[in-house]
Amino acid sequence: MLKKIEAIIREDKLNDVKDALNEIGIRGMNVCEIRGQGRQGGITLAGRSGTYQVDMLTKMQMNIILSEDNVDETIEAILRGGHTGAAGDGLIFVYPVDEAVRIRTGERGHEAVMYPGDIDEKKGRGSAKAS
């Protein structure tokens, strides 16, 4: 079965997280810039005269689709790359994916989101075939 991992991470940790994911063989991903608020609260910015508080902070949202067998290893990689220990490190969500289709080839399911030599291909996709 396919899963979607949605990780909200620090803007400045994007490269570290990406490197950690590449190391375990994850090739396909996309990211977008988002803004939000959470336990980190706001930050103080310098204005014209003194400072002001901003409570919506820029974060990166990273989306990865892969086999459920490799979800745990992926989460560990994100933790390795994105952890600082301070409030604001972010959150990881995992969702089930009903279907995936590659527009160029028409491939469906796992075939659509696999890359040569990536983690799903190397480590198998166990239950994937059943889905």
Partner 1 sequence: MANLNTGDTAWLLVCCSLVLLMTPGLAFFYGGMVRRKNILSTLTLSYVFMALIGVQWLLFGYSLSFGKDIGGIIGGLNYLGFMNVGAAPNPEYSSSIPHQLFATYQMMFAVITPALITGAFVERIRFKSFLLFGIIWATLVYDPLCHWVWGAGGWLREMGVLDFAGGTVVHVAAGCSALAFAMVIGPRKGFGHMPLEPHSIPYTVLGAGLLWVGWFGFNGGSALAANGVAVNALLATNTSGAAAGLVWMLLSWLDGRPSTLGLVTGMVVGLAAVTPASGFVSPMAALVIGAVAAPISYYTIRFREQRGLDESLDVFACHGMASTWGMIATGLFATTAVNPGGANGLFHGNPSQLGVQILATVVTMVFSFGVTYVVAKALDMSIGLKVGLHEEEVGLDISGHGERAYS
Task: Give residues in contact with partner 1 (CB under 8 A).
Answer: 44-54
Based on CB atoms, which residue is closest to partner 1, 18 or 59? 59
Cβ atoms 124, 44 nearer than 8 A: no
Minimum distance from CB of 44 to partner 1 (Å)?
Answer: 7
Based on CB atoms, which residue is closest to partner 1, 54 or 101? 54
Minimum distance from CB of 42 to partner 1 (Å)?
Answer: 9
Q: Which residue has the tokens 């301070």?
A: 86
Cβ atoms 118, 73 nearer than 8 A: no
Closest CA to 20 of 100, 96, 88, 119: 119
Minimum distance from CB of 17 to partner 1 (Å)?
Answer: 27
Cβ atoms 112, 42 nearer than 8 A: no
Based on CB atoms, which residue is closest to partner 1, 52 or 115? 52
